[in-house]
Copies of this chain bind each other. A is one copy, B any other.
Amino acid sequence: MALAQSSDELTIRKIYDKSLAEGQSYQMLDYLCHKIGARLSGSPGAAAAVEWSRHVMEDSGFDSVWLQPVMVPHWVRGQKEIGRIINSKKMGTVELSVCALGGSVGTGLEGVAANVVEVKNFDELKSLGTQKVKGKIVFFNRPMDPTQIQTFSAYGGAVNQRGSGASEAAKYGAVGVIVRSMGVNQEDYPHTGGLRYETGVPMIPAMAVSTKHADLLSRLVKDDAGLSFYMEMHCQTLDEAPSFNVVGQIRGSEFPDEIIAVGGHLDSWDLGQGAHDDGAGCVQSIEVLRIFKVMGYKPKRTIRAVMFMNEENGLRGGRKYAELARQNKEKHLAAIESDRGGFTPRGFNFTPDSAHREKIISTIQGWKRLLEPYGLTEFSTPGGGADIGPLARDRVTVIGFIPDSQRYFNYHHTPVDTFDKVDKRELELGAASMAALVYLIDQHGLK
């Protein structure tokens, strides 16, 4: 046992050495961000990213690399949106920093002009009712709570405005929606992100406004019930488009039928380069297998890197992967996802296969001692990730990689989610952390 532990310690140390001294994750991300850039589902960028990741994994000498065809939604933004305060008492006409929310209908060339009514939540909207909302533009302006230590908790407490605000407002006759961006600081740029229209409710256009301009709009609306706002958006949803998940694999030497998957999503929003969201997760996942190759580590189980398509506005890739796994009677021991940016690692959260819950928790907690020297101190349940969620329904243990969350929502879904926002060491430490966990699962199983 002492020997086994020592061998784990040595291998994990070697994984970190390889990632930090000879890693390729940063160089891969450089290419993905600068040569390909934005890659919303159905776009030429997404197609290029599919080809790129296939080539990278083939060139890295993985045992096999293949594509999983999947149809994806195809939404396009069209020309730059307009969000304009027309007639404020204090400042007259003011152009705001806005963008259409992903999936929104457009306004047509004629745009939408209406008075603005500000609310903080759906209860407030309801209490205003049809009488005060009908014919108006509803402005959802509840900030992310800055006192949450984990920014994802603050995001979770605010994002229903973006996801469901348009349909909720439309129920009371609103003609358009402005949503405060899901950012925690004072920013000049808006955050896009997906909305979902509720069936049977009129689809009205919805845009995000930068947090700075949300505050401005709020001040101007308070003084001025007659304030009019003009929104013009040329976005539209086209026919679904063919696309792919990209999968690379190293075949297990002892238990080839047991699969450990590690992945990120290849698609990104259209405004930036998808550097943290989720180029980082993609290159880290490829790097896990690449590190094993260059170390000469031959896994007992089959290790897969999965580039999921369409996490941002449909989750079609994640669903397709789980569907194929079921169809092919594949046995996944675990699936790990990195989709919280390329920041300094803090740990993992996970949802164990319910049939072996206690055993799996104690196995993973038992590895804490091996991983703490690398700054991995958080091992909590539940957890996972959007793309691997559908696997969890088939009792696969799903694991989310948890990096430091403080800066994530500075960049998430914005024009500034670019390569220069990623720190090389932080990204490399993340890749090594994922590889270390995959190594431990490969060596010892989970139960």
**A residues whose Cβ falls under 8 Å from a Cβ of B:** 16-17, 20-21, 146-147, 149, 151, 184-185, 344, 346, 373-375, 377, 404, 406-407, 410, 423-426, 429
Contacts and interface: CB of A to CB of B under 8 A. Distances in A.
A426 B426 CA distance: 15
A181 to B, nearest CB: 16
Contact of A344 (B146, B377, B404, B423): B404
B374 A149 contact: yes
Contacts of A407: 423, 425-426
Contact of A20 (B146, B377, B404): B146
Contacts of A16: 147, 149
A185 B21 contact: no
Contacts of A151: 425
B426 A406 contact: yes
Contacts of A346: 375
A287 to B, nearest CB: 15
11 contacts: A16-B149, A20-B146, A21-B146, A146-B425, A149-B375, A184-B425, A185-B425, A344-B406, A406-B423, A406-B425, A407-B426
Nearest to A14: B147
Contact of A147 (B21, B344, B377, B404): B21
Given A377-B377, A407-B426, 14 more contacts: A16-B149, A20-B146, A20-B147, A21-B147, A146-B425, A149-B373, A149-B374, A344-B404, A344-B406, A346-B375, A404-B404, A406-B426, A407-B423, A407-B425
A20 B424 CA distance: 28
Contacts of A147: 16-17, 20-21
Contacts of A184: 425
Nearest to A151: B425
B185 A424 contact: yes
Nearest to A428: B146
A185 B185 CA distance: 29
Contacts of A425: 146, 151, 184-185, 406-407
A342 to B, nearest CB: 11
Contact of A429 (B17, B149, B344, B426): B149
Nearest to A13: B147
B410 A423 contact: yes
A374 B346 CA distance: 12
Contacts of A423: 406-407, 410
Name the 9 nearest CB pairs between A and B, nearest first. A377-B377, A17-B147, A20-B146, A406-B425, A20-B147, A406-B426, A344-B404, A21-B146, A344-B406
A185 B17 CA distance: 15
Of the listed residues A16, A21, A184, A404, the one surrounded by the most CB atoms of chain B closer than 10 A to its CB is: A404
